[in-house]
Structure formats: structure tokens, C-alpha cells
Structure 1
């Protein structure tokens, strides 16, 4: 399904090829998008903490 989305096929065309409804295709795409957004927000929210802890360690070593 992802390859077909990347190729620019419509939900209807993907549904026909996979023998599922276009509504199911839309739901699956929405689920994938939501999952990607969740992972993206989780990783970006954890990054500042990692950098912050490295800065603290650097300051302690320099003092």
C-alpha cells in the first residue's frame, strides 16, 4: 500500500488493486499517519532532555 501511495495512486485505485474498499484505505492511511506523528513527537520531545543532560555533564567536568 505504501508503494502505491508513493506512486500517487488514489485511495480508490489502491482499494481496487488490494481488493479492499477505499474507506478502508483511507482509515489505514490515517492510522499510519497518526502512528508516524506519535513516534515523531515522542522522539523530538526526548531529544532536548538528552542534549540537556550532556550539557550538564560537560559543565561539571569543566568546573
Structure 2
């Protein structure tokens, strides 16, 4: 099961995503990044970097009134 998961994450999903972007007017490098990480993956990287930056600056975000 683990090998199948890795195969899908590192081969099947990126290749199928890259093929779906075949006719888009963006650079090959951008297509590769989008196909590897995906839209949800990009959001996850953003939130992870945000959390790391907040921890590094040791500040608290105040979202309440």
C-alpha cells in the first residue's frame, strides 16, 4: 500500500496534471510546479510558511474582537 501511495504522489498525479495543462499558455517550469504541488499543495506550503514565520517572530495573531 505504501509503494502505491508513493507511486501516485510522485508519478501518476504529477504526470496527469501536467498533461491536463498541456495547452495552457504558461511556461514549462510553472506547469511542472503546478502539476507536482497542485493548487491545494500550494496553499499548504503558504500556510506552513506563514506558521513558521509567526513562530520565528514569536508573535501572536489576534483574530478576535
TM-score category by the smaller chain?
A: 0.3 to 0.5
Q: Which structure has the larger Rg over C-alpha atoms?
A: 1
TM-score computed with the length of structure 2 as normaliser: 0.36
